[in-house]
Structure 1
Amino acid sequence: MSAALGPRRPTILVADDSPQNIELLSHILSSEYRIKVATSGEKALKIVYSDEPPDLILLDIMMPDISGHEVCQRIKSNPDRRRIPIIFVTAMSTVEDESLGLSLGAVDYITKPISPALVQARVRTHLALYDQSRELERMVAQRTGELVASRQQLIRRLGRAAEYKDNATGNHVVRMAHVTRLVAQEAGLGPEAVQLLFQTAPMHDVGKIGIPDSILLKPGPLTPDEMKVVRQHPQIGAEIIGKHDNELLSMARTIALTHHERWDGQGYPQGLQGEQIPLPGRIVAIADVFDALVSRRPYKEPFPAEQAIAMMVEERGKAFDPALIDAFLAQRHEILRIIALYADERGSMVDHPV
């Protein structure tokens, strides 16, 4: 049956607020491709983030709600969608306009009034390049599985090394990684972004390696000077990991540096506020704090789970992103299962994540 239907036709998203432009581009391309249309930036993003994203996007710049430039930036910042080729189709025709569009991640730039033959040729070329890119990625992924697994194990071990100083089993990094995954899924992140967060969350406190045991293991309250030393660990962690083009290590560095920032701007080390805090740091902050509340520490006994949840809710809009606290609450039953499954009393489970 599938053979009779022929090969799958690629899907083109045409995003333009002009019905005439949409009709023209659809007419030019519909004989070879499936066409989806969006008359605003928001509608375009909904289609891109749907379960059936397009294979290529023809994107106008001047749109009423979100500009094409911002749409492009949002797509290119999403690990699950940023590979989709974007071609700007616009009346903005200066060299500066074209340079800006390409710098944001677009693969091409077509000026209006359009040439049907040019549109067809550019679309065909970039779809072919996209297909080749996806096939190359598939082959590379297949051949580097052992390398990726080794890198993940190294990250887990570094996280374990830091956690060993004040949590003998190291299960904190396992629990909070799973809680991070659950919150990220509930918040709507795609599978690739969720997996990246899950893999890198255990590195959040690697900077503890640089904090003296006399402070980190102190059974009572810290002095102001001791607290200043503890608050150096995000920066220390970022320096340990270093700056890398590698996606995994770059994400790990972001998390290490920003997981103690607060939504209200009262966190550290940079005092970032609201969405200035990278999303990975905001998600990991929730997982880290909740697990710390329900865990035994040198300076405290564990809080009961329901009391800890109430404390998290109290910090909604203060320490934590309100939308992410809602995602946390929506997953509370599964989160409590994770906390019980990897309880410290069951011994170290760092090498056996589900």
Structure 2
Amino acid sequence: MQGADCATVRHALDTRNPLVGTRGFAGELDGALVRDVLGRYPLFSEADAPAVSSPDPTDLRDPNPVPAGHRRDENGDTRVWTLPNPDPYADRERAVREVRAAVTESVDDAGDEVDSEVPVAFSGGIDSAILAARLDGPLYVGGFEDSHDVEAARSAAEALDREVHVVEFAHDDLVRAVPELVRATGRTNAMDINIALPLYLVAERVAADGYDRLAVGQGADELFGGYAKVAKAPDDPRVDAETVRGATREVIASLPDQLERDVLALRAAGVEPVAPLLDDRVVETALRLPGGLLVSGETRKVALREAADFLPDEVRERDKKAVQYGTLVSRELDRLARQAGFKRRMDDHVGQYIDSLCE
């Protein structure tokens, strides 16, 4: 069982409680496969033999992912857990106080669980800055020269009185890593590869430096209202919800698919992810936030920013670009595709280029 002991998972099954105090779990229990409600750990079985399973799809002939929140046995998949939909906090101060407690305790506990330092994937945004402020391990940022993430990480590290290791990307890194990522994740679409590439390349450097874990800020954008499409609800066609709170639940539902990709990419690079902001305590608290503590005017992740009052204001208040844009990976993979003859007028030209690298 990944992520939790069997007794805890059995209790979650018996009570149908999706948030029993873990950072996720997946594995075999009492003759069945189970995966937590947010899919924080990947799990697959053979499509024609559900008893044959692995957390690594490359171990299997025809891997079939176990859906998040489900139990799989010889009779098929059964949903066991769904996320609760609690009433929102009525008191703003209490909400921020509970977010602060959940976040700091979860990060501190993650650091206490290991005997050695835990490196941090550090982009300079509020999510990774929270980790950097409370974990002692070295900070790593990746990107092409003059990329937003590298500059943001340097300035944020200076504000935190920390040093940051820069993993500078080159075109050869992308060409080499794309087939490796496709094999590890089973993904070939351009968006997934663009997102996974920076994680993979930074994690490779972390592993080469002798570490086997990497702390990441995954989950914060989804849980705390970090997306523009959430802030613009209901006017953004990318969400169906009529409210910011409803749109937040929509993007939370996308986490299992995203986390499967990210965990597989990081493991393929040689590190195990540590994701304190996906702790059940954080999830449970975030689900109770009203819309005004998710988005207010132009400000996103309102409650998280207010709760992180231990950070310098310049770090706590800054916005961050999506990793594929902040590192310039998306731009440079597009450039490589066009140089290889895959022009933008072609349908999914970057996807076709990715396919060509894997042939």
Structure 1 and Structure 2 fold alike (TM over 0.5): no
Pick the TM interval, shorter chain: under 0.3
Q: More helix by proportion, 1 or 2?
A: 1
More RCO (CA 8 Å, sep 6+): 2
TM-score, normalised with respect to structure 1? 0.27
**Which has more radius of gyration?**
1
